[in-house]
Structure 1
């Protein structure tokens, strides 16, 4: 058992599988196990007893393995993660058809064991049914009231730009890791909307909350956690699971402290942010004696955690990919600089400038396409029996909309494996929308903060390129910059440093 425990704690995904296999053989030694097949199911590779198709998948980068399997089995196929059947949807037309044209059937969220334990199916990201509908509806309405995707958000982002530009300038052109300042800046936008105020970058509580949130996103999509969701009994052996749980509990305590402080100074007629709105609604339901109100402490905490984590990691990760890709492609960075200088000059960039910066806008969209930060989306589950593309998919089946296959669909993109802003430009150099641009997913579970994220990416990226030129560290060529992603729930750039050289 000590050998197996060591494997589970220290090994790579291959070692984890070997360790899990040993325990599985012991656990199921006297049990029989078989995969039940339904009539007219999607095709897929033959599963092994107990392990299913796990040995055919790279658990660090499962989206890459699934893309390869799609070449053999088509745009709708099944794989087994251990004993668990998963249907994979690949390619733009298939993913859109499922998420948009069959939105109700494919619209439920599959909630893994770990996140079910942590959220108890409260909040938005990891809930279903009426709770999800009510929390999402309330969040959308109130986030818009506080300026999400509107003029109010633009003002907050423009204010934050001054801080991040100053922070980058402190390095005086020397190489530094962009992670902390970028994540702090992006997190301050969602914080100002949710809490009603921003944080200083030097605030240790704020920095730790941001770091823990990003670490949880990385751990939550790691190979050990993927195995835990299939075989929950290995949980006691997983250091990463304990780390994620500790991080979540610490962030809960920090956020509960902020909520308590806001509660003490709450004025119903002068709401500062989303939390104030939730507290006002909660008090109203309590006064009216409404039973089983969903506006309770657990939903408030889970929703705030969802907004804080999602609002920090996804946009911050995409922005860091953007700066890395500019250092990797200096000729493209040159064209962005030229367009910004010609159209904007030295004044502050505003959202209205987007239509006059077609090349910069195309570059940002291509960054999102290539970064591919949520390659498998968050998993869905069928809400009923579905007949789809000639196949039968049973109610309750986990479904992976393979977004990476949409963003790399060879029938939709001229050079899907290459960073090429021309994907979003017409022959006259004007910005051209593409239907297969689906980084925020689609349908009922489309990203709640898409409008805010689009605004942040445009204003932050354009402003940083207006002030700085991004280059590799001294002694490192652009060809040596590593674009291999670090896998989690989202795909992050590998650890790296860049130089932000002040432009005259």
Structure 2
């Protein structure tokens, strides 16, 4: 017995000595003595349960991104979570988000493989520019769109955006003031479908040289509603995104997504692409619009584009009108919630109108225009503040290779959430009043200057940044500015006594429910020259 005990003692000592020698050989002790760990950084995160991971943490009325922000106070500005079948990393600081989007943008070019995304784009989310994984084909598709969707200031496309927007607002005013639509102005019928239709026509007129009738075209009304349903849905989170085995319980929902998308696709093909293809002049080298540019590339013998590519690309960009329409409605909601903000916008508009009248300019019903933007800094700042407080989340990215973020290892296929909520509402970025609606935070006046100008900090990135930045952001900004400014210049906006607009506003979401609040529009008196 004693001999056996001594044997195990000697064996243990020999093992310990071998371990020490190996550690010395590898420099482990030396590294620790120098204050350096030989191990790579490891991420912390909440407890993961079988099957659901840490999804139990996300049940908050403020939404998952508010939860991410709270968890970052415990686990740091970068931490990990297992959400169902998906390994996720959440980054919540400007420096880390910039590393993901810019410094290492090539490592994080993927998108989540959610079932909903596939149902929206013909069974393959890579048909979508926004929801696809990055590839040479997607780079080519973006390059075709860039001159039309991200035009340079002073370019013909920029001028066309302004002209189209102003013309369409004139059509919208004519529609609203028709006696048949008095109930809309009185707040007895919803205005959102009209705002969406007007903005949709801005997109189709600019991109396709086509507009549709508010009154008679029932298919157009149906399609704008379908786009809005999809915009609302895509801004929500569902358990099936992370627990795909729940698909059987979401079959009806997924079918509705496919039906909406198919209706939209059929409309674009029959009402826009096919008529344009029949009249396409291949002898000219100058496209009339974005639709022509896509068709020219399709006809080229060197093109990689197929019919599917151009159909889905046009659908992607036309769908941008839903974001603009919802943004406009959100600005109007804030103008109702904060009447002093509405008053200040109108004072700014009135000053522009008086200046025109004094110069002998006939303003008519279109009292302000995009050319007046430099004189309307407060109005522009209200739009930026609306985007800030809504904190609409950036679409998650996915690691396309084994990489790291600030030295923390991130495995291929890991989903990365960029916590825009923390960036947009964090006191470390915006001060103690970060949660207040305060448009003047975007106004700046340098010493010696007599007027305010709009200034946006680098850490404010409502359209993301890097190679996957929103390519249509200039369309969003241009069309939203014109619609908001002209509506508030012409009307006082209020809510019916029984309507609480705040109930429709969801934290961390720019989208409003398709059926949200009604508003009352009371015509204002035209300012007179001083």
2:65 and 2:508 in contact (8 A); partners too = no
Match of residue 4 from structure 1 = none
1:45 and 1:53 in contact (8 A); partners too = yes
Match of residue 11 from structure 1 = none
Which of these residues, 425, 443, 446, is aligned with residue 466 of structure 2? 443
Does structure 1 residue 359 correspond to structure 2 residue 378? yes
Please state how far the C-alpha of 1:145 moved relative to its aligned partner. 7.4
Match of residue 430 from structure 1 = 452
Please state how far the C-alpha of 1:196 moved relative to its aligned partner. 1.8
Which of these residues, 129, 139, 142, is aligned with residue 136 of structure 1? 142
How many Å separate the matches in 1 of 2:497 and 2:191? 16
Please state how far the C-alpha of 1:475 moved relative to its aligned partner. 5.3
SS at 2:47's partner residue? coil
How many Å separate the matches in 1 of 2:418 and 2:504? 22
How many Å separate the matches in 1 of 2:194 and 2:117? 28
Pairs within 5 Å for 1:245-394: 245-258=258-271, 259-268=273-282, 269=284, 271-285=287-301, 290=302, 293-309=303-319, 311-345=320-354, 347=363, 348-372=367-391, 374-375=392-393, 377-394=394-411
Change (3 A) 1:325 1:174: same
How many Å separate the matches in 2 of 1:144 and 1:222? 28
2:101 and 2:466 in contact (8 A); partners too = yes
How many Å separate the matches in 2 of 1:440 and 1:221? 14
Match of residue 71 from structure 1 = 73
How many Å separate the matches in 2 of 1:85 and 1:263? 45
Match of residue 481 from structure 1 = 501
SS at 2:105's partner residue? coil
SS at 2:428's partner residue? coil
Does structure 1 residue 214 correspond to structure 2 residue 228? yes
How many Å separate the matches in 1 of 2:145 and 2:235? 25
Change (3 A) 1:368 1:273: same
Match of residue 212 from structure 2 = 199
How many Å separate the matches in 2 of 1:267 and 1:118? 32
How far does the alpha carbon of each residue in 1:317-370 deviate from its partner, in whole angstroms, 9 at most, with x for none? 111000011011111111111111012347332323222222222222112212
Please state how far the C-alpha of 1:502 moved relative to its aligned partner. 0.5
1:468 and 1:501 in contact (8 A); partners too = yes
Change (3 A) 1:490 1:299: farther
Change (3 A) 1:236 1:149: farther
How many Å separate the matches in 2 of 1:411 and 1:149? 39
Change (3 A) 1:56 1:497: same
Please state how far the C-alpha of 1:180 moved relative to its aligned partner. 0.4
Does structure 1 residue 180 correspond to structure 2 residue 193? yes
SS at 1:86's partner residue? strand
1:318 and 1:371 in contact (8 A); partners too = no
How many Å separate the matches in 2 of 1:115 and 1:59? 24
Q: Which runs of 5+ in 2 are unaligned?
A: 1-38, 358-362, 526-530
Larger radius of gyration: 2
Pairs within 5 Å for 1:16-31: none
Which of these residues, 147, 160, 164, is aligned with residue 152 of structure 1? 160
Number of residues of Structure 1 aligned to a counterpart in Structure 2: 453
1:358 and 1:429 in contact (8 A); partners too = no
Change (3 A) 1:406 1:255: same
How many Å separate the matches in 2 of 1:149 and 1:47? 51
Which of these residues, 468, 489, 502, is aligned with residue 466 of structure 1? 489
Change (3 A) 1:45 1:149: farther
Pairs within 5 Å for 1:403-414: 403-414=420-431
Please state how far the C-alpha of 1:59 moved relative to its aligned partner. 8.0
1:148 and 1:452 in contact (8 A); partners too = no
How many Å separate the matches in 1 of 2:151 and 2:340? 41
How many Å separate the matches in 2 of 1:475 and 1:231? 40
Change (3 A) 1:211 1:487: farther
How many Å separate the matches in 1 of 2:258 and 2:509? 16
Deviates more, 1:485-494 or 1:92-101: 485-494
How many Å separate the matches in 2 of 1:148 and 1:222? 37
2:421 and 2:508 in contact (8 A); partners too = no
Change (3 A) 1:357 1:221: closer
Please state how far the C-alpha of 1:134 moved relative to its aligned partner. 1.0
Change (3 A) 1:332 1:486: closer
Does structure 1 residue 457 correspond to structure 2 residue 483? no
2:101 and 2:108 in contact (8 A); partners too = yes
Q: CA RMSD in A?
A: 2.5
Normalising by structure 1, we get a TM-score of 0.83
Match of residue 28 from structure 1 = none
How many Å separate the matches in 2 of 1:145 and 1:434? 22
Does structure 1 residue 104 correspond to structure 2 residue 123? no
2:496 and 2:518 in contact (8 A); partners too = yes
Please state how far the C-alpha of 1:103 moved relative to its aligned partner. 2.2
Change (3 A) 1:409 1:168: farther
How many Å separate the matches in 2 of 1:169 and 1:486? 31
Please state how far the C-alpha of 1:484 moved relative to its aligned partner. 4.7
2:235 and 2:511 in contact (8 A); partners too = no
Change (3 A) 1:89 1:123: same
Change (3 A) 1:105 1:340: same
